[in-house]
Amino acid sequence: MIYNLTMKLLLSGCVIENEDGKILLLHRNTPQRQQWETPGGKVEADEDGKSAAIREVIEELGVEVKIINEIGRKDFIEDGHEMGYIWYKAEIKSGTPKPMEQKHDKVEYFSWEELKEMKDLSANAKNLVAFHFSM
């Protein structure tokens, strides 16, 4: 397949674990995609990765988070776009996670083992799971 690549998009997001070590994902339910994904999105021109991840979590989940550390990066191609994603481990400072945007219909925590078996993960979530099991 030939891709018409555009400039690389920089994305960042948060990996949020609960007290049982399960990972919080959002379910995207749009005509184009029905998939589980990590909370996060595009890094704007005036932001760094951490600031973007914090902003995206507020927009998507309605919670404030504290970034603990960067846990990894991965480049990938989706829909002909080259993307670079930065994952940050984060913890919830305040609020209860819930879908804040119409494109998402639910949030859930999953164990790493459950994630390994899931078929309806976003490309980025699949990369995160592969990264986790390669450490």
Max CA pair span of the chain: 45
CA pair distance 114, 36, nearest whole angstrom: 12
Confidence grade of residue 26 (pLDDT, cut at 50, 70, 90): very high
**What pTM value is reported for the model?**
0.90
* pLDDT tens for each residue of 31-70: 999 999 999 999 999 999 999 999 999 999 999 999 999 9
Residue 61 lies in a domain: yes
Q: Is residue 116 part of a domain?
A: yes
pLDDT value at residue 7: 60
Question: Which regions of 1-135 does DSSP assign to beta strands (E)?
Answer: 9-16, 23-29, 34-37, 40-42, 64-78, 81-94, 104-110
Whether 56 is covered by a domain: the verdict is yes
Taking the C-alpha atoms of residue 37 and residue 124, their distance in angstroms, rounded to an integer, is 7
With respect to residue 2, please indicate whether it lies within any of the assigned structural domains.
Answer: no
CA 91 to CA 128: how far, in whole Å?
17
Instruction: Provide the residue range defining the domain that includes 106.
Output: 9-134
Q: What is the pLDDT of residues 81-91, one digit of tens each?
A: 888 999 999 99
Q: Does residue 92 contact residue 72 with C-beta atoms inside 8 Å?
A: no
